[in-house]
Amino acid sequence: MNEPFSGIDVTTLLQIDSSARFGRSGHDRHGSHTRRMTDHFVRHWLARAPQTEVLVRDVAATPPRPVDDRWIEAAFTPADHRTAEMAAILRESDQLVDELERADLIVVGAPMYNFGVPSPLKAWIDNVVRVGRTFGFDRGRPGAPYWPLLAPGKKLIVLSARGDGGYGAGGPLEAANLVDASIRVPLAYVGVTDFRSIAAEWDEFADARVRESLKSAEADIEGLVTQLAPSRPRVDPQLILAQAIHADP
């Protein structure tokens, strides 16, 4: 479900790419549609708001550690009781959470793999939805024992690509679209409740439908950027890529 956004003051944008393909469609052979879409969003955003700091987290290039029993033990141990080994186990998670905390706007490139998200993106979600860092838990708390810890006001935009058509709201395959919910629900749980999604479809067919869908998705991206970004003198998006600051892998 897409909620209406209003213009926002963004100082830091977190761009997350998760496609197993490392180029951009229309630019690189066998390139990724979602990498093309996140790039399109960020270039147009920076053209309107060139002062924005951009953090780039490529979870396909550097997959986060999957959650295991040692991670769980470390995360649920109070910080002042953790061993040096526990702190080391959570170091990557700490860095990913730090990036999420800094971001005012989170832009996620999420291709649909077998109806859901790529496994490195799921690992990223598991690392940032973390007790004591992004959500609180108290069994004795009146009402719900869980509450979000992230600062309010963050915005989440998911840019997806799908093999078939009809996965959007009201479409015949809507129930099979597990991508949007698997990102929207856990991030809302930690406090990121403002959500929008834009998708390109028909990729498996490699015909005019996917070309038209990509064209439509890019137009929607430009419209969303215009809606959200502060109005500033326009800068050529092709010249603005150097503004991006890449997060350490």
Residue pLDDT, tens place only, 157-194: 999 999 889 898 999 999 999 999 999 999 999 999 99
Task: Classify residue 75: in a domain, yes or no.
Answer: yes
Asked whether residue 5 is domain-assigned, the answer is no
Q: How far apart are CA 68 and CA 62, in angstroms?
A: 18
Lateral strand order in the sheet of 105-111 = 194-200, 155-161, 105-111, 12-17, 53-58, 244-246
Q: Is 244 helix (H, G, I), strand (E, B) or coil?
A: strand
The segments of the chain whose pLDDT lies below 50 read 1, 248-249
> Who contacts 156 (Cβ-Cβ below 8 Å, separation ≥6)?
106, 108, 183, 184, 187, 192, 194, 195, 196
Instruction: Give the CA dihedral 183, 186, 191, 194, nearest 10 degrees.
Output: 30
CATH no. for residue 209?
Answer: 3.40.50.360
Structural domains of the chain, count: 1
Distance CA 235, CA 44 (A): 9
Please indicate, yes or no, if residue 4 is contained in any of the structural domains.
Answer: no
Domain of residue 32, residue span: 12-246
- Let me know if residue 100 belongs to a domain: yes
pLDDT at 249: 44
Q: Is residue 1 part of a domain?
A: no
pLDDT (tens digit per residue) in 103-132 = 999 999 999 999 999 999 999 999 999 999
Among residues 46, 54, 30, the alpha carbon closest in space to that of 233 is found at 46
Closest by CA position to 115, among listed 57, 153, 163, 166: 163
Is residue 6 one of the residues assigned to a domain?
no
Q: Quick one: which H or E segment has residue 180?
A: helix 179-189
Query: Does some domain include residue 3?
Result: no
Within-domain flag for 101: yes
